[in-house]
Amino acid sequence: MQFGIFTVGDVTVDPTTGRAPTEHERIKAMTAIALKAEEVGLDVFATGEHHNPPFVPSSPTTMLGWIAARTQKLILSTSTTLITTNDPVKIAEDFAMLQHLADGRVDLMLGRGNTGPVYPWFGQDIRQGIPLAVENYALLHRLWREDAVDWEGRFRTPLQGFTSTPRPLDDVPPFVWHGSIRSPEIAEQAAYYGDGFFANNIFWPKGHFRRLINLYRTRYAHYGHGAPEQAIVGLGGQVFMRANSQDAVREFRPYFDNAPVYGHGPSLEEFTRETPLTVGSPQQVIEKTLTFGETFGDYQRQLFLMDHAGLPLKTVLEQLDLLGEQVVPVLREEFAKGCPGGVPEAPTHASLLARRAESGEPDESTVSIESIESAESVENTQIVRS
């Protein structure tokens, strides 16, 4: 299993000091956190994409290219690449370039985003979010697999004999995860292509994400990619640790109570009881994370949110030391013990290259908006649509 961290790049006031970092400080902190992730033995660093305050990561490939030049093993990913408001041609070019610079240590997570005003800023309509996600990925999928693409769709100008450059490294496109908080159509899309499905698994109760993941696994098998347990699943989560659980709760409480995404709602105790948030000792983090496998089945990637809610850089780096030294080694061992044969590892450039050599040319299937939207009527999915 791959373990790593993801950031949303928020600029938030530290409630214990009343000060927010500058944009420059926050950007430099994110890169320091990525370097620390490799230092402590994590596998993945992923950044979000946002185009509005209070967030700073508007250009993920720029940041990841900087990190690529200063790391050796770390897989560089996104925790959202906006498939709805980015041109698929630009995504194809940017990530292929990054893939070359990082010697293949690149994948990406596609998502629709959760900030409504971004759509008109980039000339799109949020009411077309699902059709945009479906059509734009259909084009992106082809751009990485065909040397000359003829294309005509609803949301961009036609292409005639277009070749995106550079071509993917070794003719193997970056692996794609489709991220979702609530949309069964996105789980269906991931299943159709045989791509990965990443469940945010942060703010909602586990039953909600279990239904989404079960839908993805069922449809993955339906499309002939393998058994349901062979589907490629990633999970988010968030933790705050100290050696003593009481110290962790006391230190994190003001951040929780004042954070825009947490505060003024359920109490810290309620939130930790109902969602994957863990605030406590490293052992408590281990115990709760191990329950994810019981809830969702064997999975391939676990990313933790560590640098949010105004936490200072020093504290985040301390969290990463605990994660790398005391938590992840135990999780690797325990998850490996319980993993049955036949469950694949998380894809990497090397494994995708080997699979391509074994099977010949990569799949060039496409999917229609109508087939994705039909996910809403799949029998017994019962996905919560709120």
What does the CA dihedral 303, 8, 321, 44 come to, rounded to 10 degrees?
A: 40
* 317 in any annotated domain: yes
d(CA 366, CA 362) in angstroms, rounded, equals 12
> At residue 24, does pLDDT exceed 90?
yes
Q: Determine the structural domain holding residue 35 and report its residue range.
A: 2-377
382 located within any domain: no
In a domain, 109, yes or no: yes
Q: What is the pLDDT of residue 383?
A: 37
Q: Which of 73-87, 105-119, 212-226 has the lowest mean pLDDT?
A: 105-119
pLDDT bucket at 374, cuts 50 / 70 / 90:
low
The answer to the question of residue 241 being in a domain is yes
Q: Does residue 180 belong to any structural domain of this protein? A: yes
pTM (2 d.p.): 0.92
Q: Is residue 384 part of a domain?
A: no
Residue 34 token pair: 């990525």
- The pLDDT, as a whole number, for residue 260 is 79
Centre a 10 Å sphere on the Cβ of residue 23 and count the other Cβ atoms it contains: 14
The verdict on residue 169 lying in a domain is yes
Q: Tell me the average pLDDT of the chain.
A: 90
Instruction: Specify the pLDDT at position 247.
Output: 98
Residue 133: CB atoms within 10 Å: 25
The region that residue 94 occupies, defined by phi over 0 for left and psi between -120 and 50 for alpha, beta otherwise, is: alpha
Per-residue pLDDT at 376: 46
CATH number, domain containing residue 58: 3.20.20.30
Evaluate whether residue 285 is within a structural domain.
yes
Cα 204–chain centre separation: 16
Overall number of domains in the chain: 1
Residues 317-369: tens digit of each pLDDT: 999 999 999 999 999 999 999 788 889 999 999 999 998 888 765 554 445 55
